């Protein structure tokens, strides 16, 4: 249903990569509302982790939807998040076209609601290719221990939700070992 709105660009950003353009979802009010509603139906956590930058566009509307989301945890490139003290954390990820680093703040996690000593998080991203970005985020969050008012908390990834999944790259297999994987569109 949503696949017909996508555009594709071969050899972008590097040779051998087929870029999936989800911008058409943002250019059609009805389609954007439908995609966002589908994501909202799949969310089971009050906090959403989203990597830079297109995932921000689909995660942010969840804050005003009636789906239980009340916190967004941004994963940005170096130099994009202001911070104090030791709040800033770095993770290394492996994308289909090379290694990269993302930065997040522990305070963005603790801004969310915890239940029984656990901050539950859903990871929302635009495209599932090989799964390297989502896997790096999930593995890092799963090892994270946070202290709030003297009490230690852990982080649990409830699920991964993608706007588009590239079916031939096996990202789902990689991530399903960590948490359930859901995709709105498949190509």
Encode pLDDT of 136-166 as tens digits.
999 999 999 999 999 999 999 999 999 999 9
Task: Give the rounded distance of the alpha carbon of 68 from its chain centre.
Answer: 16
CA atoms within 13 A on the CB side of 54: 15
Angstrom distance (rounded) from CA 57 to CA 52: 9
Task: Classify the C-alpha dihedral 71-76-81-85 as positive or negative.
Answer: positive
Structure tokens at 59: 């995660």
Count up the domains in the chain and report the number. 1
Compare 40 and 83 and report the one with higher pLDDT.
40
CATH of the domain at 110: 3.40.50.2020
Confidence label for 96 from pLDDT (cuts 50, 70 and 90): low
Structural domain boundaries, residue 69: 3-186
Q: Which of 43, 76, 74 is nearest to 162 (CA)?
A: 43
Which helix (H) or strand (E) is 121 found in, with range?
strand 118-128
Angstrom distance (rounded) from CA 65 to CA 69: 8
Mean pLDDT, residues 105-120 taken together? 97
């Amino acid at each position: 249903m949503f696949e017909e709105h996508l555009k594709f660009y071969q050899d972008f950003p590097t040779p051998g990569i087929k870029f999936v353009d989800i911008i058409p979802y943002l250019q059609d009010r009805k389609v954007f509302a439908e995609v966002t509603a589908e994501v909202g139906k799949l969310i089971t956590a009050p906090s959403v982790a989203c990597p830079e930058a297109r995932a921000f566009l689909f995660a942010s509307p969840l804050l005003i939807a009636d789906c239980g989301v009340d916190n967004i945890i941004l994963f940005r490139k170096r130099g994009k998040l202001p911070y104090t003290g030791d709040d800033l954390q770095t993770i290394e990820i492996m994308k289909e076209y090379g290694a990269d680093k993302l930065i997040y703040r522990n305070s963005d996690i603790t801004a969310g609601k915890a239940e029984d000593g656990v901050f539950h998080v859903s990871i929302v991203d635009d495209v599932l290719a090989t799964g390297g970005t989502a896997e790096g985020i999930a593995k890092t969050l799963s090892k994270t221990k946070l202290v709030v008012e003297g009490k230690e908390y852990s982080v649990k990834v409830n699920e991964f939700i993608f706007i588009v999944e590239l079916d031939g790259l096996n990202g789902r297999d990689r991530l399903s070992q960590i948490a359930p994987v859901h995709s709105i569109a498949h190509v």
